Homo-oligomer: A and B are copies of this chain.
Amino acid sequence: MRVLLLIAAATALAGAAPAQKLMTPTDVISAAPPRAWKAIPADQLLVMDLKNGGRVVVQLAPAFTPVHVANVQALARADYWADATVYRVQDNYVAQWGNNDSEKPWPQGVTAKPPAEYWRSLTGLSITPLGSPDPYAPAAGFAEGWPLSYNSAAGWAALAHCYGTVGVGRGLDPDTGTGGELYAVIGHAPRHMDRNLAVVGRVIEGIDRLSSLPRGTEALGFYKDKAQYVPISALRLASQISPAERPAFEYLDTSSQSFADYLRIRANRNDDFYKRPAGGVDLCNVQVPVRRKTAGERG
Contacts and interface: CB of A to CB of B under 8 A. Distances in A.
Interface of A: 3-4, 89, 91-92, 118, 130, 132-137, 162-164, 172-174, 187-196, 207-208, 211-215, 266, 269, 272-278, 280-285
A92 B163 contact: yes
A213 B4 CA distance: 33
Contacts of A282: 135-136, 188-189, 191, 282
A162 B285 CA distance: 12
Nearest to A195: B276
A172 B3 contact: yes
A196 B274 contact: yes
Contacts of A187: 163, 187-188, 211
A235 to B, nearest CB: 22
B172 A273 contact: yes
A224 to B, nearest CB: 15
Given A3-B172, A162-B188, A275-B196, A135 B281 contact: yes
A183 to B, nearest CB: 13
A24 to B, nearest CB: 11
Given A135-B278, A163-B188, A192-B281, 11 more contacts: A3-B172, A92-B207, A136-B280, A187-B188, A188-B285, A189-B285, A191-B281, A192-B277, A196-B274, A212-B212, A212-B215
A215 B213 CA distance: 11
Nearest to A171: B273
Nearest to A221: B208
Contact of A133 (B89, B134, B174, B208): B134
A193 B273 CA distance: 10
B135 A211 contact: no
